[in-house]
Amino acid sequence: MAFKLPEYHPPDFSVPPFTESPLARFEVVGQEGVAPEGYHATSIYPEYLHVRKGDWRLIEKSRMDCVVVLENDGVLSVRPFRHLRVGDRVACGRLENGEEGIYVHTKGFDDPDRSEDKFQFRTRLTRETSFSIDYDELYDLLEHEKGKGFVLWVLGPAVVFDRDARGAFVRLVEEGYVHGLLAGNALAVHDTEAAMYGTALGQEIYSKKKQPLGHYRHLDIINRICSQGSIGKAVVSGLVRDGIMRALTVKTIPYVLAGSIRDDGPLPDVITDAALAQDRMRKLATKATTVIALATQLHAIATGNMVPCYKVGGETQVRPVYFYTVDMSEFAVDKLANRGSLTARSILTNVQDFVVTLERGLGRRCGP
Amino acid sequence: MAFKLPEYHPPDFSVPPFTESPLARFEVVGQEGVAPEGYHATSIYPEYLHVRKGDWRLIEKSRMDCVVVLENDGVLSVRPFRHLRVGDRVACGRLENGEEGIYVHTKGFDDPDRSEDKFQFRTRLTRETSFSIDYDELYDLLEHEKGKGFVLWVLGPAVVFDRDARGAFVRLVEEGYVHGLLAGNALAVHDTEAAMYGTALGQEIYSKKKQPLGHYRHLDIINRICSQGSIGKAVVSGLVRDGIMRALTVKTIPYVLAGSIRDDGPLPDVITDAALAQDRMRKLATKATTVIALATQLHAIATGNMVPCYKVGGETQVRPVYFYTVDMSEFAVDKLANRGSLTARSILTNVQDFVVTLERGLGRRCGP
Amino acid sequence: MAFKLPEYHPPDFSVPPFTESPLARFEVVGQEGVAPEGYHATSIYPEYLHVRKGDWRLIEKSRMDCVVVLENDGVLSVRPFRHLRVGDRVACGRLENGEEGIYVHTKGFDDPDRSEDKFQFRTRLTRETSFSIDYDELYDLLEHEKGKGFVLWVLGPAVVFDRDARGAFVRLVEEGYVHGLLAGNALAVHDTEAAMYGTALGQEIYSKKKQPLGHYRHLDIINRICSQGSIGKAVVSGLVRDGIMRALTVKTIPYVLAGSIRDDGPLPDVITDAALAQDRMRKLATKATTVIALATQLHAIATGNMVPCYKVGGETQVRPVYFYTVDMSEFAVDKLANRGSLTARSILTNVQDFVVTLERGLGRRCGP
Amino acid sequence: MAFKLPEYHPPDFSVPPFTESPLARFEVVGQEGVAPEGYHATSIYPEYLHVRKGDWRLIEKSRMDCVVVLENDGVLSVRPFRHLRVGDRVACGRLENGEEGIYVHTKGFDDPDRSEDKFQFRTRLTRETSFSIDYDELYDLLEHEKGKGFVLWVLGPAVVFDRDARGAFVRLVEEGYVHGLLAGNALAVHDTEAAMYGTALGQEIYSKKKQPLGHYRHLDIINRICSQGSIGKAVVSGLVRDGIMRALTVKTIPYVLAGSIRDDGPLPDVITDAALAQDRMRKLATKATTVIALATQLHAIATGNMVPCYKVGGETQVRPVYFYTVDMSEFAVDKLANRGSLTARSILTNVQDFVVTLERGLGRRCGP
């Protein structure tokens, strides 16, 4: 089945009530990092601002919970509050229906309506939901995105705790299905620990044997990479001989390692400042056409905050951004939805199996 | 806050399309235990059958996934398929809107509409949902039901694995908040094990100490009660000196212990045949005005299948039946919903805390 | 890697303290279904009874929480309490070290000792544990058992809720990896529902589309199979054209469908009496050399109760019985262990992926 | 029951093999932030260094995964790797038994031995474990610590999502059971959101009603507090009229709010740099005699890394540090253990109920 991007249907601004709408209102920032009263906050959906009579401009590179700034060059940019400077002009207005010159467009890619019975079973997604079609759709999507999109992966450390999952992810990198990666210190630490010692947190990632003094392994690899100066240098020097970090380095695929208070070390490549890390993550996030988040609530929610459900430009004028999250618990899935990532698709399983199954399925389909 | 039952709004059958509806169609059973083609299956909602021109009869004592039989005396009874006998007249028709003389009424107790934003947080129930109001509503509800309702409890064994929870539930029985109980062998076994040995599965229910040869404790109590002939006799004889089973026995509160393949023993009071157990459970379920299911997927779903969201008769003509389920995982809650118990209210917590908090809260409010 | 059964090391009864041990004591049953005071209860481990001076007899077909009866023909049989008859001679004694003529042998198949650090990470099994080796060991084990063992599967309904998992399990049956199956009504209902309608509980098992009036589907299939008399007849008649129940029927692989209070119907093949179902299940369980339980706490714990960790006879004198459980939650795994199935191996993942991965892995290895 | 600290039993260094032990070896740091080969890493346990013949010095303010530096003044300090400077003398040696002059003492506070049966139920902690005694022990412990200890709380945002839990925690602060708090941006945001709007993430924390434009609430409060400059100022100005942050401010109880990539804002008081946040957190952590972590994996594990199982000084020479973690899932508990917090005690429940129950229980006992 050839994958086809769904068409985007923009609102028709030539009809009422839009023809009656006022222009969007902008207020000036009076205190650094503080938005004016009544600021408009962005969502994951396409939003249009009425900037000149009859000219509704779609904001680009949006994300949740930011404000819209009218730059001096007339561009509308989406900024976190902390990047507001005195004098910035911030869009104001909270009605989303155009009455204040702002329109939030939630139905741009809508599926055809489904009629529903009064009484129904299986209205909720759980581990017992069928996921066969999700794999098949992912195969098609990833083949498409390989050439024409930007697949951003968000990884928890569990992916490198298992030999087969780690190996499968390395092959996904090598075969071109990974265009960017967001993760934390632990992913890089245990991936390079596996490269050097075959362990993660001291336990062998295949045999599960706990090595003697295994609780030193992750500290040893951190210490060595710190000594060399960066993961990249440790790859070049031959210290890190395999694994995900090496594959990314070899293929010069961009990644952001964001620090957290849980980190040992951290590795020299880790950005310990959360605000700076967010900025770097968002730089990758704005390129993403598909995001796949595996077994990490922290990074999945952080990335979910940064990724709108659409992307402007490229192959089509406006296309959807696909957001998948894979986790073991209904709670993780629900929590993401409760924080506003309403269009995320979820697969409930162990990421070890997910990555292995995905890679095998892609491999099969690529075959002659 | 005095509790008040919400009013029931029956459909207005004096207006179209009901005035045009045909009578409900009944087909005759030709094979024992097999419904005629096109049978109508019941749901948890009030359903009306058009039995005589202009006479829409509300079915009583309904439950999910059964058929409606027109008895010889003109009564409509709701029966499981396995109780169909040759010659029974079964209501047929699958449209729920009256076009086949059957109307499913899902909005009888509806809350006032809520307007919704386009973009919203917290659309799903999780462990992070606030539950303060649920406790307060339960206090009010249970005070009401104590006198005027029938509170049916469905208990997993976890309730008796903890001293304080077990004690709190005993007080709920003694104070009149328990009118019936559905459970399995394990609840009765470990409750009486606790009465005799202070343990559950060999572990003390307060100190958590594992008694020597503790894995004999539940077998010993089963063997002793089998020797005496029943739980009731073991209470009378003094073998079972405290706990939930004793409290129920002393207050002659009805209970059904349904067997399962997981059971040791079982105790003599356990009904090992699932079909017979269902019949006995349903007998209690049809009396219920409030159901509270604690930490048991098997019994909660089984009971959920048996309990409609309304009850005919009593104080008011038609009143809601409240169904609460308390469990630790979002999965359990979602699974219940996926099986059709769509109106159940869920509290996500450990039942130990739930029972203790509930009993203290009721106690407080009862105080002078 | 060719699979090799680990050797069994029986105790050396020719040395003290065994040479000093008294004979095992047997007491006579005085009341039907009631064991004499001080009865000995069995565990999952090999147990030896000192029946004649110097003759320690290993009990066969053991299971947890039963008693040992010395039959008239001198055979030691392991019986549930409810099958005790007046006059039966029951082994008594609770010491497990031989001092009462009974010896519980927990180290028969022991792994070589592992030295442990004082301070260690990763002492517990979780979803983040590596499972690659478990798959590889299962491939080897199943290839061995295919010819020389008896693989008993215990299935929750989730396996048939997904097209790929259902298909993969059918192939496991066809290729000879399934020698017996234990399940409930729901598995057979939704498997045959899928055969007839492509749905499970009304939702298509591939597209996830909810069919109109989908909540009738499982009732319709139950009603039709009840009309035909059995699943087997429905396969022969062509009503059930594919799926697990058909594959089992075609290959005449034995199965037990045990009823529960949650069941609709049930199907005619379901044994509704829990005690009878246990007897039938145990008949299969005593043949098992490997048990694999997927996504069912009820059936997994029930089967865990019935399966000892060893089997007498066959290829070797005494061999281990492997017990795997696959589930999504640490709780399910821990609960099984807390009920005494101490040697079970657990894989934490979605059974959909597990079955698909397993079948593909076996397929690969079978290839030329 | 009056609480009594368990006695600490130091090792007896006057006997072999300690009398034969070499002195601990110190190597000099040659590169900033990099430990010398063979460095010794600390654990949660008391560790002794043989610094002068016969003089085994107990390290103080230890924590997991750090190194021991011999300062110029002869003090042994425990430092994260990133704080190593060229010339620092770092203890080296990985044997923990004294053979390299380092001794890790895991049995200082040991409970009396428990004899174990060969076959046992209930070896694992789950939601079905009894927790009554944990509450009672906590009541006693907290009464003790109120006067003589330092109770450090680690809070996930769930605590302020519920009215009763939030209120109960405020009372714990007011009554003196809280000496320090570690949390993230979300806790402070939603606590102050509740103070101003009665909501958390836009949903009322009692009625659960979703306020219109509720997704603005947390942004509004962040924006306002940013405008005022700090939480403290917002309390003084009257913007924040109730809640946890206000109670801490009023009682000048120290807290650390550590930033993460998931944060909106953040609030001005949040430390966005993870390394700096760790340093500040550790400053509080080294004072702690009891730590209670509620519903946060990130902060619980981070704190678990920082808190050893003992504390030197005060009332007794060496006393245990109690570490409790309260969470809904076995996974969270196991994960903490897998990362080395081996002595943590866990209660599996919803923190809403936990806090309410704890506060009521303390209140009761405090009464006249």
Distance from CA of A228 to the nearest CA of C (A): 26
Residue B208: closest C-alpha in chain D? D130
Q: How confident is the model at residue C21 (pLDDT cuts 50, 70, 90)?
A: very high
Residue B226: closest C-alpha in chain C? C34
Residue D296: closest C-alpha in chain B? B128
- How far is C110 from A173, CA to CA, in rounded Å? 42
Question: Rg of chain D's alpha carbons, rounded to an integer?
Answer: 22
If we measure between CA atoms, which residue out of D290, D353, D332, D319 comes closest to residue D161?
D353
pTM: 0.96
Distance from CA of B309 to the nearest CA of C (A): 17
- How far is A46 from D332, CA to CA, in rounded Å? 37
Q: Is D128 left (phi over 0), alpha (psi -120 to 50) or beta?
A: alpha
Q: What is the pLDDT of residues B207-246, one digit of tens each?
A: 999 999 999 999 999 999 999 999 999 999 999 999 999 9
Query: Could you give the count of Cα atoms lying within 13 Å of B48 in the half-sphere of its Cβ?
Result: 24
- Is the pLDDT at A114 greater than 60, yes or no? no
Neighbours of chain B (3+ CB pairs under 8 A): A, C, D
Q: What is the pLDDT of residues D85-113, one digit of tens each?
A: 999 999 999 999 999 999 999 989 866 54
Of D65, D276, D302, the CB nearest to A219: D65
- Is the pLDDT at D161 greater than 80, yes or no? yes
- First and final C-alpha spacing in chain A: 16
If we measure between CA atoms, which residue out of D323, D327, D324, D325 comes closest to residue D352?
D327
Structure tokens at D283: 């400053």
- Is the pLDDT at D147 greater than 90, yes or no? yes
Q: Is B130 in contact with D348 (Cβ distance < 8 A)?
A: no
φ, ψ of residue D312 in degrees (nearest 5): -95, 140
Q: Is B106 in contact with A121 (Cβ distance < 8 A)?
A: no
- How far is C255 from C275, CA to CA, in rounded Å? 16
pLDDT at B114: 53
- The per-residue pLDDT of chain A, averaged, comes to 94
Q: Which residues of A touch D331 (CB under 8 A)?
A: 328-329
Q: What is the pLDDT of residues C61-76, one digit of tens each?
A: 999 999 999 999 999 9
ipTM: 0.95
- How far is B177 from D109, CA to CA, in rounded Å? 46
Given a contact cutoff of 8 angstroms between Cβ atoms, the answer to whether A327 and A337 are in contact is no
Of D120, D132, D357, the CB nearest to B215: D120
Q: Which residues of A touch D305 (CB under 8 A)?
A: 262, 264
- The per-residue pLDDT of chain C, averaged, comes to 94
Q: What is the pLDDT of residues B180-199, one digit of tens each?
A: 999 999 999 999 999 999 99
Residue D96: closest C-alpha in chain A? A213
In the three-class reduction of DSSP (H, G, I as helix; E, B as strand; rest coil), residue D241 is classed as coil
pLDDT at B306: 96
Can you count the helices (H) and strands (E) in chain B?
10, 17
If we measure between CA atoms, which residue out of D63, D39, D27 comes closest to residue A220?
D39
Q: How confident is the model at residue C1 (pLDDT cuts 50, 70, 90)?
A: low
Distance from CA of B126 to the nearest CA of A (A): 6
Q: What is the pLDDT of residues A180-194, one digit of tens each?
A: 999 999 999 999 999
Q: Is the peptide bond before C36 cis (omega within 30 degrees of 0)?
A: no
A173 vs B333, residue with greater confidence: A173
Q: How confident is the model at residue A334 (pLDDT cuts 50, 70, 90)?
A: confident
Q: How confident is the model at residue A366 (pLDDT cuts 50, 70, 90)?
A: very low
Q: What is the 3-state secondary structure (H, E, C) of C190-228?
A: HHHHHHHHCEECCEECCCCCECCCHHHHHHHHHHHHHHH
Compute how many other C-beta atoms are within 10 angstroms of the C-beta atom of residue D140: 15
Amino acid identity, residue D188? Answer: A
In the three-class reduction of DSSP (H, G, I as helix; E, B as strand; rest coil), residue C158 is classed as helix
Facing residues of D67 across strands?
Answer: D41, D79
Q: Is C329 in contact with B329 (Cβ distance < 8 A)?
A: yes
- Is the pLDDT at B321 greater than 50, yes or no? yes
Average pLDDT over residues C48-67: 97
- Is the pLDDT at A2 greater than 90, yes or no? no
pLDDT at C119: 79
Q: Which residues of C touch A157 (CB under 8 A)?
A: 128
Burial letters B197-210, b for 16+ CB under 10 A, else e: bbbbbbbbbbebeb
Given a contact cutoff of 8 angstroms between Cβ atoms, the answer to whether A126 and B335 are in contact is yes
CA distance to C151, D12, D66, per residue, from D93 (Å): 50, 21, 13
- The per-residue pLDDT of chain B, averaged, comes to 93
Q: How far from the centroid of its chain's Cα atoms is residue A66's Cα?
A: 16
pLDDT at B367: 37
Facing residues of D104 across strands?
Answer: D47
Q: How many contacts, defined by CB atoms under 8 Å, are there between A and D?
A: 120
Residue A30: closest C-alpha in chain D? D227
- Is the pLDDT at C123 greater than 70, yes or no? yes
Distance from CA of D3 to the nearest CA of A (A): 33
Scanning C45-162, the segments in alpha helix (DSSP H) are 132-148
For residue D222, what are the contacts with CB-CB under 8 A and spacing of at least 6? A81, D189, D264, D265, D266, D267
Q: What is the pLDDT of residues D179-209, one digit of tens each?
A: 999 999 999 999 999 999 999 999 999 999 9
pLDDT at C46: 96
